[in-house]
Structure 1
Amino acid sequence: MAATVLQQDTPHDTHEALGLTAHLIQLEDQYGTHNYKPLDVVVERAEGVWVYDVEGRRYLDCLAAYSAVNQGHCHPRILSAMIEQAHKVTLTSRAFRNDQLPRFLEDLHNLTGYEMALLMNSGTEAVESALKVARKWGYKVKGIPANQAEIIVCTNNFHGRTISIISFSTEDQYRDGFGPFLSGFKVIPFGDAAALRTAITPNTAAFLVEPIQGEAGVLIPPDGYLAEAFAICKGNKVLFMADEIQSGLGRTGKLFAYEHEGITPDVLIVGKALAGGFYPVSGVLTSREVLGVITPGDHGSTFGGNPMACAVARASLKVIVEEHLADRSAELGTLFINRLRQINSPHIIEIRGRGLWIAIELTTPARPICEALMREGILCKETHDNIIRFAPPLIIEKEELLWAADRIEEVLKAV
C-alpha cells in the first residue's frame, strides 16, 4: 500500500457541504469496522452528566458508558490525579515495580476485604483471567483431574466477546462465524438454584454469574437466589465468581450488587467505573489461596497494574466512597423508577431496576425510541431489540432525573 501524507485537518468546504456531524460519521463508517451501531450523535466534550456534540447541542447521558463513568464525565479529582501522574511516569511494565501499584492494591483490600488482586485492563481481560485462575485452582487445590475442569455459567450471560467467553454465550450473534468453540463450560438457567445444584460435579471448579444481568436487560434474579447459589458452591468446594464489571462500584445502590443478599463471593471481577472513564482498569479480587496458584510467567499484561492506571483508579475509588455514590444511587434510583412507573403507555411491558440501573421493556422496537429521546436531549441505548437501559452517572441530581423522566414519558406517549 502506497504511503500518503496525513492531512492535519479536513478542508472546510467538505465540512460545509456535509455538515460536521455527517462528515465525521461518514469518515467513521468508511474507515472503521462496523462492529457497533451507535446513535448518530458525535460527542466532542463532556462534563458531569452532560455531553456536548460537535454542533454544540447538549444531552443528558443516561448510559454512563455502560457504567464506566459512575463518577460523571471528567471528574475533576480523577482528572487531577491523572495529570499529576502523567508528569511522573505512565508505564514501566511489570518487569519493574512502581510506587502506585502497591498503594492501589492496599486500597482495594481496605475497601473490599479481599486478600489479593490481579490487575488487568478491560473487563473482558479480567473475566479471562478469572477463568484461567479458576481452572488452575481446580487442578492445584481442589484436585480435579488434568484438563477436566468445568465452569458453570448462566443463560443470557454477557462476560465479553473473546473466543473463550463466546464459547459459553447463549446469544447466537456473538457466536455466529467464530467457531470452533472451547469446551469445559456448562450453561444453566439464570436465577435457578436447583439447576446449579444439579449441574455441579466433582470436576466443577467455579460458577460464574452476574448478580444482575445488564446486557440482557437489567434482569434481576429472584430474592435469595445469590445466597442459595453461594451456599451450594460452598458445600461443593466450587468457587462462586461474581462478575460485577457493570453492576459494581455503586451502580445498584450498594458498593457491589452481591451485598443486597449479604454474601461475599470467592472471586470478584471488577472494571469499568474502577477508573471513572479515564483509563481501562480491571481486576480479579480473591483470596491468597486462589490467586496463590499463579506464579511468575503464568499470566501477565504489559499495561495491567501500570502506574497511570493505578493512580487514576485510586482517585476513582475515593470519589465513589467519599461522595457516597452508592447511597445516591439507592435514593435516586427509587425516585426514578417510581416516576417511570407512572407513565401510562400500552407499549410498556415492564419497568425494572435496582439503584440507578433501570430497564424499560417494550412491545415495540427500542431503537426508534432511543433516537427520539436523542432528539429530546437524552442519550440512552437499546439492548435485545425491545429494551432500553437507563444508567446515568451517579452524581446526577434529582431535578435532572425528573427532567429526563418527563421527556421519556412524552416520547413513549407519542409512539
Structure 2
Amino acid sequence: MIDDMLRTPEAIRDAERWTAHNYHPLPVVISSAEGSWLTDVDGRRYLDCLAGYSALNFGHRHPTLIAAAHAQLDRLTLTSRAFVHDQFADFCRELAELCGKDLVLPMNTGAEAVETGIKVARKWGYQVKGVAPGMANIVVAEGNFHGRTTTIVSFSTDEDARADFGPYTPGFTVVPYGDLAALSAAIDENTVAVLLEPIQGEQGVVVPPEGYLPGVRRVCTERNVLFIADEIQSGLGRTGDTFACDHEGVTPDMYLLGKALGGGIVPVSAVAANTDVLGVLRPGQHGSTFGGNPLACAVATEVVRLLATGEFQRRSTELGARLHAGLRSLVGRGLLAVRGRGLWAGLDIDPALMSGREACERLAERGVLAKDTHGSTIRLAPPLVITEEEIDHAVAQLAAVLAG
C-alpha cells in the first residue's frame, strides 16, 4: 500500500533526513484531520485510535476549542508571568474547581508538570514535614512513565528511556506497581511523596488491583506523605470519569495534568493541589515563560467547561464498554489479554503471530492508526467523540489483521 502512494515516501524520506531519530513513526504522513479521522497527503483517510496519546480526547479540531483559539489569536497570545492577563484567573479557578483543589500552577508539558510536582513535594517535605535538608525521597513504581527529562528517567525502569543518560538524579525508591505492602515498606521518615499513575499507560494500559489506590491513599495519610497522581494520560475523561482515581473514590494530594488539557491545539499542563501543598512556593522559586499563557488558558478553559458537562465522561464509559466487549471477543483469536478502562485499552497480541509494530502497520494498511509498546502490546485510545460504528469498524479491522 505505502509503495503505491505518490507523495508519502518522499515526505517520509525528508523527515528522516532532517530530524533526529528519536521516534519510529508509522509510514503515514498526515495533512489534515477532523473529529476521529485523519487524512494523509495522498487523500487516504484513517480512523485515529491513538488520539495523540490522549492529547486529543475531544477529537481533532473540536469546533468549540478551535473557536476559542481563533478568538484569542486575534487578541493576545503571550505576556509571560511577569504580568497578569485576562484569561488566567478563569482558567485557574475553573480547573481548581474541577479538581476539587484550592490552587493551580500552570505549565506547558506533562514532563514539566511532573518536575513541578517533584519540586513542590520536596519543598513541602523540608518546610512542612521537617525532613532533614537534602534527604527527601519519593516512592515510585516499576513500569512508570512520567516523561523523559534527566530527573524523570533517573527513576524509569525502561532501559530504552534510561540507558546512557546518567549520572542519575538520586532521591527515588522504586517498588513493584500494584504491591501495597512493598510501597508501605519503602516509606521512611524522609519520604515526602508517592508518585504513581493510577493506570500505567506507556506500560500497556495496566490497571492496578482493586483496592490498591485506596490503600495508597490510606498509607500516605497515615505516614504523612503526599499522594501525587500522574493523570496526564489517564485523566480528563479518558477512563470514563474525570480522573482515573475517581473510579475508586480516591482523592490524591496533588494532580498532575496535561495532554488533553490543551485540546490538541497547544501544550498545556498543570499541577493542582491545596494551599498547604502548593502554597510552599514563593516568587522566584519556580516558573515558566509560556506556562499559563493567554492562548493556552483560553483553550484549556473551554476544555474544562466541556468536562464540566459530564458528556465526555459518559461517552467514555458507554463507548468504552462497547470497545472492550469487542476486544474481549478476540481473546483466544490472536489476542492473549485485554486491559483498560473507558476508551483506553492495552492489547497483548500473541507474539507467535506478529509483533505490536507489525500489527500497527497492518492496521494502518486497513485505515486504522494505533501504537505499539513493549514488544507485542498495542494501545488503543480513540478520541472521546468516536461513534459506535467507528468502534465496531476498528475492532473489525483488528480482527481481520489477527486472522491474517
Q: Please tell me whether the aligned partners of residues 166 and 175 of structure 1 are also in contact (alpha carbons under 8 angstroms).
A: yes
Q: 1-side partners of 2:10 and 2:90: how far apart?
A: 45
Deviation at 1:346, TM superposition (A): 4.8
Which residue of structure 2 aligns with residue 357 of structure 1?
A: 344
Question: Which is higher, the Rg of structure 1 or of structure 2?
Answer: 1
Offset, 1:363: 2.5
Work out whether 1:68 is the aligned partner of 2:55. yes
- Structure 1 counterpart of 2:382, which letter? P
Alignment counterpart, residue 367 of structure 1, candidates 353, 357, 365:
357
Deviation string, structure 1 residues 21-79 (Cα, Å, up to 9, x no partner): 11111111001010000001000000000000000000000000000010010001000
Aligned partner of 1:131 in structure 2 is 118
Of 159, 176, 189, the match for 1:202: 189
Does residue 86 of the first structure (1) align with residue 76 of the second (2)? no
- Give how far 1:319 is off: 2.2
Q: CA deviation at 1:323?
A: 6.3
Q: TM-score, normalised by structure 1?
A: 0.94
- Give the share of equivalent positions with the same residue, in percent: 50
Give the alignment of 1:38-53 within 5 angstroms: 38-53=25-40
**Retained in 1: the 8 A contact 2:76–2:295?**
yes
Contact 2:59 2:383 in 1 (8 A): yes
| Counterpart-to-counterpart distance in 1, 2:142 and 2:273 | 25
Judged with a 3 Å threshold, the aligned counterparts in structure 2 of structure 1 residues 323 and 72 are, in CA distance, closer, same or farther, namely: farther
Residue 158 of structure 2 is matched in structure 1 by 171
| Alpha-carbon separation, structure 1, partners of 2:230 and 2:177 | 14
1:378 paired residue among 365, 368, 372: 368
Instruction: Confirm or deny that 1:155 pairs with 2:145.
Output: no
Within the candidate set 396, 399, 403, 1:409 is matched to: 399
What residue in structure 1 maps to residue 202 of structure 2? 215
Distance (whole Å) between structure 2 residues aligned to residue 128 and residue 55 of structure 1: 41
**Distance between the aligned counterparts of 1:344 and 1:248, measured in 2?**
27
- Residue 299 (structure 2) pairs with residue 312 (structure 1): yes
**Within 2, Cα distance between the matches of 1:323 and 1:189?**
34
Match of 1:234 among 221, 232, 236: 221
Instruction: Report deviation, 1:174.
Output: 1.1
Is contact 1:345–1:412 with CA below 8 Å preserved after alignment?
A: no
Task: Report 1:241-390 matches (<5 A).
Answer: 241-322=228-309, 324-343=311-330, 345-364=332-351, 365-390=355-380
User: Structure 1: any 5+ residue segments left out of the alignment?
Assistant: 1-16
Q: Which range moves more in the overlay, 46-55 or 167-176?
A: 167-176
AA of the residue aligned to 1:133: V
Q: Distance in 2 between matches of 1:290 and 1:341?
A: 42
**For the residues of structure 2 that align with 1:254 and 1:341, how far apart are their CA atoms?**
22
What secondary structure is seen at the aligned counterpart in 2 of 1:206? strand
Match of 1:6 in 2: none
Report the secondary structure of 2:183's partner residue: helix
Q: Distance in 2 between matches of 1:109 and 1:161?
A: 27
Alignment correspondent of 1:98: 85
Who is 1:12 aligned against?
none
Given that 2:331 and 2:337 are in contact with CA atoms closer than 8 Å, whether structure 1 keeps it comes out as no
- When structure 1 is superposed on structure 2, of 308-317 and 142-151 the one drifting more is 308-317
Q: Structure 2 length as normaliser, TM-score?
A: 0.97
